[in-house]
Amino acid sequence: MKVSQTRLDGVLLVEPDVFEDDRGYFMESFQAHRYAGAGIGCTFVQDNLSFSIRGTLRGLHYQYPHAQSKLVQAVQGEIYDVAVDIRRGSPGFGRWTSARLSHENRRQLFVPGGFAHGFCVLSETAVVLYKCDDVYAPDCEGGVIWSDPGLAIDWPVQAPLLSQKDGQYAELRDIPGNRLPDFVKIR
Protein backbone atom coordinates (compact mmCIF):
# COMPACT_ATOMS: atom_id res chain seq x y z
CA MET A 1 0.00 0.00 0.00
CA LYS A 2 1.25 3.46 -0.88
CA VAL A 3 0.22 6.45 1.27
CA SER A 4 0.95 10.02 0.17
CA GLN A 5 0.56 13.25 2.08
CA THR A 6 -1.58 15.78 0.18
CA ARG A 7 -0.98 19.52 0.35
CA LEU A 8 -3.03 19.61 3.58
CA ASP A 9 -1.39 18.12 6.65
CA GLY A 10 -3.24 14.98 7.71
CA VAL A 11 -5.25 14.47 4.50
CA LEU A 12 -3.80 11.32 2.96
CA LEU A 13 -4.12 9.67 -0.44
CA VAL A 14 -4.09 5.87 -0.10
CA GLU A 15 -3.34 3.52 -2.98
CA PRO A 16 -4.03 -0.03 -1.75
CA ASP A 17 -2.15 -2.99 -3.19
CA VAL A 18 -4.23 -4.60 -5.93
CA PHE A 19 -3.74 -8.15 -7.17
CA GLU A 20 -5.11 -8.65 -10.69
CA ASP A 21 -5.42 -11.67 -12.92
CA ASP A 22 -7.70 -12.94 -15.71
CA ARG A 23 -10.60 -13.33 -13.24
CA GLY A 24 -10.51 -9.73 -12.00
CA TYR A 25 -8.79 -8.33 -8.95
CA PHE A 26 -8.50 -8.53 -5.18
CA MET A 27 -7.58 -5.76 -2.78
CA GLU A 28 -7.64 -5.21 0.94
CA SER A 29 -9.76 -2.04 1.31
CA PHE A 30 -9.05 -1.65 5.01
CA GLN A 31 -6.99 -3.40 7.68
CA ALA A 32 -6.72 -1.60 11.02
CA HIS A 33 -3.12 -2.47 11.89
CA ARG A 34 -1.73 -1.67 8.42
CA TYR A 35 -3.65 1.62 8.14
CA ALA A 36 -2.63 2.66 11.66
CA GLY A 37 0.99 2.14 10.65
CA ALA A 38 0.38 4.49 7.73
CA GLY A 39 -1.02 7.25 9.97
CA ILE A 40 -4.73 6.35 9.90
CA GLY A 41 -5.14 5.09 13.45
CA CYS A 42 -8.74 6.01 14.19
CA THR A 43 -11.39 3.43 15.03
CA PHE A 44 -14.08 3.43 12.36
CA VAL A 45 -17.59 2.91 13.75
CA GLN A 46 -19.90 3.65 10.81
CA ASP A 47 -19.88 2.93 7.08
CA ASN A 48 -21.87 5.10 4.68
CA LEU A 49 -22.75 4.24 1.09
CA SER A 50 -24.13 6.67 -1.47
CA PHE A 51 -25.33 6.28 -5.04
CA SER A 52 -25.38 9.40 -7.22
CA ILE A 53 -25.80 10.37 -10.85
CA ARG A 54 -23.43 12.46 -13.01
CA GLY A 55 -23.18 16.08 -11.90
CA THR A 56 -24.30 15.44 -8.32
CA LEU A 57 -22.33 17.38 -5.72
CA ARG A 58 -22.56 16.31 -2.09
CA GLY A 59 -21.03 18.65 0.47
CA LEU A 60 -19.20 20.40 1.85
CA HIS A 61 -20.17 18.62 5.07
CA TYR A 62 -18.71 18.43 8.57
CA GLN A 63 -19.80 17.70 12.12
CA TYR A 64 -18.97 19.78 15.16
CA PRO A 65 -18.38 19.00 17.96
CA HIS A 66 -18.63 15.31 16.99
CA ALA A 67 -16.09 15.54 14.16
CA GLN A 68 -15.85 12.60 11.79
CA SER A 69 -12.67 11.36 10.16
CA LYS A 70 -13.51 9.64 6.88
CA LEU A 71 -11.86 7.11 4.60
CA VAL A 72 -13.52 7.65 1.21
CA GLN A 73 -13.48 5.50 -1.92
CA ALA A 74 -15.50 5.20 -5.12
CA VAL A 75 -16.42 1.54 -5.50
CA GLN A 76 -18.17 2.23 -8.82
CA GLY A 77 -17.70 5.20 -11.12
CA GLU A 78 -15.50 8.27 -10.60
CA ILE A 79 -15.69 11.24 -8.25
CA TYR A 80 -13.78 14.45 -7.62
CA ASP A 81 -13.25 14.36 -3.85
CA VAL A 82 -12.47 17.51 -1.84
CA ALA A 83 -11.30 18.18 1.73
CA VAL A 84 -11.25 21.72 3.20
CA ASP A 85 -9.42 22.70 6.38
CA ILE A 86 -11.98 24.52 8.56
CA ARG A 87 -10.08 24.31 11.87
CA ARG A 88 -9.83 27.72 13.56
CA GLY A 89 -6.18 28.65 14.09
CA SER A 90 -4.87 26.11 11.58
CA PRO A 91 -2.04 27.17 9.27
CA GLY A 92 -4.11 25.60 6.48
CA PHE A 93 -7.44 27.24 7.39
CA GLY A 94 -9.56 27.76 4.27
CA ARG A 95 -7.25 25.72 2.04
CA TRP A 96 -8.46 22.69 0.12
CA THR A 97 -7.11 19.63 -1.63
CA SER A 98 -8.70 17.21 -4.06
CA ALA A 99 -8.28 13.78 -5.60
CA ARG A 100 -9.98 11.82 -8.32
CA LEU A 101 -11.20 8.53 -6.89
CA SER A 102 -12.57 5.78 -9.10
CA HIS A 103 -13.22 2.07 -9.29
CA GLU A 104 -10.40 1.97 -11.83
CA ASN A 105 -7.66 3.71 -9.80
CA ARG A 106 -8.98 2.22 -6.50
CA ARG A 107 -7.59 5.15 -4.52
CA GLN A 108 -8.92 6.26 -1.14
CA LEU A 109 -8.79 9.66 0.53
CA PHE A 110 -8.44 9.95 4.29
CA VAL A 111 -10.08 13.14 5.58
CA PRO A 112 -9.39 13.82 9.28
CA GLY A 113 -11.96 15.29 11.64
CA GLY A 114 -11.96 19.08 11.50
CA PHE A 115 -12.15 19.16 7.71
CA ALA A 116 -15.20 19.74 5.55
CA HIS A 117 -15.69 17.10 2.88
CA GLY A 118 -17.54 16.90 -0.40
CA PHE A 119 -17.45 15.26 -3.80
CA CYS A 120 -18.98 15.55 -7.24
CA VAL A 121 -19.74 12.70 -9.62
CA LEU A 122 -17.82 12.65 -12.91
CA SER A 123 -19.09 9.34 -14.32
CA GLU A 124 -22.63 8.41 -15.37
CA THR A 125 -23.23 7.10 -11.84
CA ALA A 126 -21.07 6.51 -8.77
CA VAL A 127 -21.24 4.45 -5.63
CA VAL A 128 -19.16 5.94 -2.83
CA LEU A 129 -18.27 4.13 0.38
CA TYR A 130 -16.82 5.97 3.33
CA LYS A 131 -15.85 4.78 6.76
CA CYS A 132 -16.39 7.24 9.66
CA ASP A 133 -14.84 7.27 13.12
CA ASP A 134 -17.92 8.80 14.78
CA VAL A 135 -21.61 8.26 14.17
CA TYR A 136 -23.86 10.72 12.38
CA ALA A 137 -25.10 13.34 14.84
CA PRO A 138 -27.83 15.52 13.24
CA ASP A 139 -27.50 18.24 15.90
CA CYS A 140 -23.79 18.60 15.09
CA GLU A 141 -24.23 18.78 11.32
CA GLY A 142 -22.64 21.70 9.49
CA GLY A 143 -21.61 22.70 6.03
CA VAL A 144 -19.87 25.21 3.81
CA ILE A 145 -21.38 26.28 0.48
CA TRP A 146 -19.69 24.42 -2.37
CA SER A 147 -19.22 27.60 -4.40
CA ASP A 148 -17.59 29.70 -1.63
CA PRO A 149 -15.49 32.29 -3.53
CA GLY A 150 -13.11 32.54 -0.57
CA LEU A 151 -12.20 28.88 -1.06
CA ALA A 152 -12.14 29.03 -4.88
CA ILE A 153 -12.41 25.25 -5.26
CA ASP A 154 -11.77 24.20 -8.84
CA TRP A 155 -14.83 21.97 -9.17
CA PRO A 156 -15.12 20.19 -12.55
CA VAL A 157 -18.87 21.01 -12.69
CA GLN A 158 -20.43 24.43 -13.17
CA ALA A 159 -24.08 23.77 -12.31
CA PRO A 160 -24.13 20.73 -10.01
CA LEU A 161 -27.17 18.82 -8.78
CA LEU A 162 -27.49 19.75 -5.09
CA SER A 163 -29.74 18.87 -2.22
CA GLN A 164 -31.74 21.81 -0.88
CA LYS A 165 -29.64 21.77 2.29
CA ASP A 166 -26.30 21.75 0.43
CA GLY A 167 -27.42 24.72 -1.68
CA GLN A 168 -28.14 26.85 1.40
CA TYR A 169 -24.92 26.56 3.39
CA ALA A 170 -22.99 29.74 4.25
CA GLU A 171 -19.54 30.77 3.10
CA LEU A 172 -16.78 29.74 5.52
CA ARG A 173 -16.12 33.36 6.56
CA ASP A 174 -19.78 33.70 7.65
CA ILE A 175 -19.86 30.62 9.90
CA PRO A 176 -19.65 31.63 13.59
CA GLY A 177 -16.41 30.58 15.25
CA ASN A 178 -18.28 28.58 17.87
CA ARG A 179 -19.60 26.34 15.04
CA LEU A 180 -16.10 25.45 13.78
CA PRO A 181 -13.53 23.06 15.25
CA ASP A 182 -10.28 24.31 16.75
CA PHE A 183 -6.89 23.39 15.30
CA VAL A 184 -5.22 20.48 17.04
CA LYS A 185 -1.88 19.31 15.65
CA ILE A 186 -2.36 15.99 13.84
CA ARG A 187 0.12 13.25 14.72
Domain extent listing, the chain? 2-179
| Residue 130 annotated to the active site | yes
What H or E segment, with its residue span, contains residue 157?
A: none
Per-residue model confidence as pLDDT tens digits over 128-161: 999 999 999 999 999 999 999 999 999 999 999 9
CB-based burial of residue 174 (10 Å sphere; 0-12 exposed, 13-18 middle, 19+ buried)?
Answer: exposed
Tell me the pTM: 0.96
User: Is the pLDDT confidence value at 187 over 80?
Assistant: no
pLDDT top residue among 185 and 32: 32
Kindly state the DSSP code that residue 86 receives in the 8-state scheme. Answer: -
Q: How far is CA 131 from the centre of its chain?
A: 10
Query: Starting at the edge strand that comes first in sequence, how are the strands of the sheet with 108-111 ordered?
Result: 2-5, 12-15, 108-111, 70-76, 125-132, 46-53
User: Is the pLDDT confidence value at 186 over 70?
Assistant: no
pLDDT value of position 26: 95
Catalytic residue among 35, 64, 80, 130: 130
| Residue 61 annotated to the active site | yes
Average pLDDT, the chain: 96
Catalytic residue among 61, 64, 103, 169: 61
The third-level CATH classification (topology) of the domain covering 2-179 is Jelly Rolls (2.60.120)
pLDDT value of position 163: 98
